[in-house]
Structure 1
Amino acid sequence: MAAAQEASVDDGRLISLQDHLRFAGIVRQHTGIKLGENKRQLLSSRLQKRMRALKIASYGDYWTYLNENLDAELGEFVNAITTNLTSFFRENHHFEFLREFFDSAPAGRSLRIWSAGCSTGEEPYSIAMVFRESGAPARRVSLGLEATDIDTQCVAVAQRGVYGLDAVRALGQTRMASHFLRGRGSNEGKVRVRPDVRDMVRFGSLNLLGDWPFDEPFDLIFCRNVVIYFDDDVQRALFDRFADALVPGGHLVIGHSENLQRVCTRFRSLGQTIYSRVK
């Protein structure tokens, strides 16, 4: 009876400032994401969803549960609080640049690209589509495409490569027919990325604050609308690591609301939030 009464208190209730600060602290510690006091409503709604799934009544009880089961629960906690907004060919000017990048690649070249913060897969699949549509394959240019996200549920969606028809309708009939299969029967209204496109991408779960399991440098890194959630110190360290992970002259693409010039001097701007490594 007490649990039911407690659930009615915290279900839909704004998290207290004290609870917000301690949850925000563990978010910052493990992900680098900064949740200021202005994010209390956001944190409240996302924690409530996880708490309902666990049948936990209060924020305090969930805090105890999280700390007592940190190894098992941390991934679910991170999944609950991360933001995943994406679409195919989002910020299309980046993909126009990418097409030029592929078309100018020397014959026989092996290219490596990383989609860091790939969410549910629309970005890396868009990269793969541009590669297939470019003149690069005919010149025996190969592409190694890595795609990672901290949210394991998003990575699972990306690996399946199944989307609602509305998500791809704006791509046009030619692109849809070239890169997707339409669902039938119980899958009516859905599309699946064609196997030869899906096989171009290697997906994995990765926390950008942790170790990066890549042995070879990248020619281009997409990390769009990710660093906006980090404070300057985390951004500075992350951009420096991106520079180290790129070949000399390699490119970094970030989101339209992000700017690395005030926190990192190792890149020069090419315009439209596209940067080239200079040191």
Structure 2
Amino acid sequence: MVTITEKEFKQLAKYIKDNYGINLKEEKKMLVIGRLHNVLAENNFESFSEYYDHIISDKTGKAVITLINKITTNHTYFMREKDHFDYLKEKVLPYMVNTIRDKDLRIWSAGCSSGEEAYTLAMILDEFFKENQLWWDKKLLATDISEKVLKMAKEGIYHKDQISSLPPAWKMEYLKKYDGENFIFTDKIKNEIIYRKFNLMDNVFPFKKKFQVIFCRNVMIYFDNETKNDVVRKFYNNLEYGGYLFIGHSESLSGDTMGFKYIMPSVYRKEL
């Protein structure tokens, strides 16, 4: 196995942080070696310096896509941090129904991973609006930097064990048998979600309209404070006044929440 020198690790870690915000600390050195070992072996690279040069010089972009797919951790599951979904259904959506005059609802699942969060949001919206669907223009954007997990999300295929936590009524209405022990989401619910590759480190978020709700959960734990604050500032600028930001239970905003009002653990609101 190719080892990585301190200089090589710092070089690769700086590239990843500068371009994708992920802060790889010194203790992650063995994780980096383990996840990239096969990539170096398959391409006959004898050092991480060779591999880094390849990433920088590759004009196709395929090398960096592979790097991000390998480095990012995409652990998620259905109904994760369920109280967020309950709060959305019981408090946020009723408020939006009474205040959005043009009936244009926009929700963003940032760092959507393999789609569990986005599909959960889509099912909540479908169930909540029911017979009023035709009167509302609902847009659910789901983004991630990893093309690998976005492909999985778009396919919408999950093992029976993965969907076990979903309410039985949802499984009957929104899922159908795919093969063996796997299930696939129906086109009805798939078509409610727009999946896009997106990097939260981009200086400008290119959205024409602002969102009423942003979910970005268990993503910023990989950022240092400066990067996190910068991303939160961009979220703030892309939220409507009165809009909500949901972050992970293990995350929090700094004392200066840049205009966000603390609502409950890991839920914040852009003050009116």
TM-score by length of 1: 0.89
- Which AA in structure 2 matches 1:93? D
Matched, 1:46 2:35: yes
CA apart distance, 1:115: 0.4
Distance change in 2, residues 1:166/1:68 (3 Å): same
1:189 matched to which residue of 2?
Answer: 181
Unaligned runs of 5+ residues in structure 1 are 1-8
Deviations 1:192-233 (A, max 9, x none): 111010000000000111142310000000000111111111
Matched, 1:92 2:49: no
1:16 matched to which residue of 2?
Answer: 5
Identity within the alignment, %: 30
Distance change in 2, residues 1:174/1:115 (3 Å): same
- Which AA in structure 2 matches 1:224? R
Separation of aligned partners in 2, 1:221 and 1:42: 30
Q: Which of 226, 232, 248 is the equivalent residue of 2:241?
A: 248
Q: Which of 69, 72, 76 is the equivalent residue of 1:79?
A: 69
Q: Are the counterparts in 1 of residues 205 and 234 from structure 2 also a CA contact under 8 Å?
A: no
Distance change in 2, residues 1:160/1:18 (3 Å): same
Alignment of 1:126-205 (within 5 A): 126-135=120-129, 137-138=131-132, 140-183=135-178, 187-205=179-197
- CA RMSD of the aligned region, Å? 1.9
SS at match of 1:166: coil
- Which AA in structure 2 matches 1:121? G
Unaligned runs of 5+ residues in structure 2 are none
TM superposition outliers: structure 1 runs of 4+ over 6 Å = none
1:212 matched to which residue of 2?
Answer: 205
Q: Are the counterparts in 2 of residues 252 and 274 from structure 1 also a CA contact under 8 Å?
A: yes
Separation of aligned partners in 2, 1:96 and 1:191: 24
Separation of aligned partners in 2, 1:78 and 1:254: 22
1:102 matched to which residue of 2?
Answer: 93
TM-score by length of 2: 0.91
Separation of aligned partners in 2, 1:49 and 1:253: 36
Separation of aligned partners in 2, 1:137 and 1:92: 25
